[in-house]
Amino acid sequence: GDSVTQMEGPVTLSEEAFLTINCTYTATGYPSLFWYVQYPGEGLQLLLKATKADDKGSNKGFEATYRKETTSFHLEKGSVQVSDSAVYFCAPAAGGSYIPTFGRGTSLIVHP
């Protein structure tokens, strides 16, 4: 089945630092790829997505590019803010089932 490997957290950064959270996946076929974010005490919400190879998803200053050749979908942001502190989940969803597959997520802590 589908699976995802994310870097272990927590990732601790100072405000305005550059962020990269690595994500690699295994899936049958050509899945859509998603990043979700979970703020404290809340459910997950979609951050960005890409549906085919070389697509770039972007939202709120975050970006991720669908790299089919390396099966990766790394999340980046040029300048993080304290309000970006949350848990981030990379999730592939194979085309036939549309079931998002999650892992443990990566906790991001941003200090002022």
Partner 1 sequence: DAGVIQSPRHEVTEMGQEVTLRCKPISGHNSLFWYRQTMMRGLELLIYFNNNVPIDDSGMPEDRFSAKMPNASFSTLKIQPSEPRDSAVYFCASSLKENTEAFFGQGTRLTVV
The number of CA neighbours under 13 Å toward the Cβ of 59 is: 12
Q: How many CB atoms lie within 10 A of CB 23?
A: 23
C-beta closer to partner 1: residue 42 or 112:
42
> What's the closest the beta carbon of residue 44 comes to partner 1, in angstroms?
5
Q: Which residues bind partner 1 (CB under 8 A)?
A: 32, 34, 41-46, 49, 89, 93, 97-105
C-beta closer to partner 1: residue 45 or 79:
45
Only one residue has tokens 């927590």, namely 10
> What's the closest the beta carbon of residue 27 comes to partner 1, in angstroms?
13
C-beta closer to partner 1: residue 82 or 99:
99
- Which of 47-72 are b and which e, b meaning 16 or more Cβ less than 10 Å from the residue's Cβ? bbbbeeeeeebeeeebbbbbeeeebb
> What's the closest the beta carbon of residue 87 comes to partner 1, in angstroms?
9
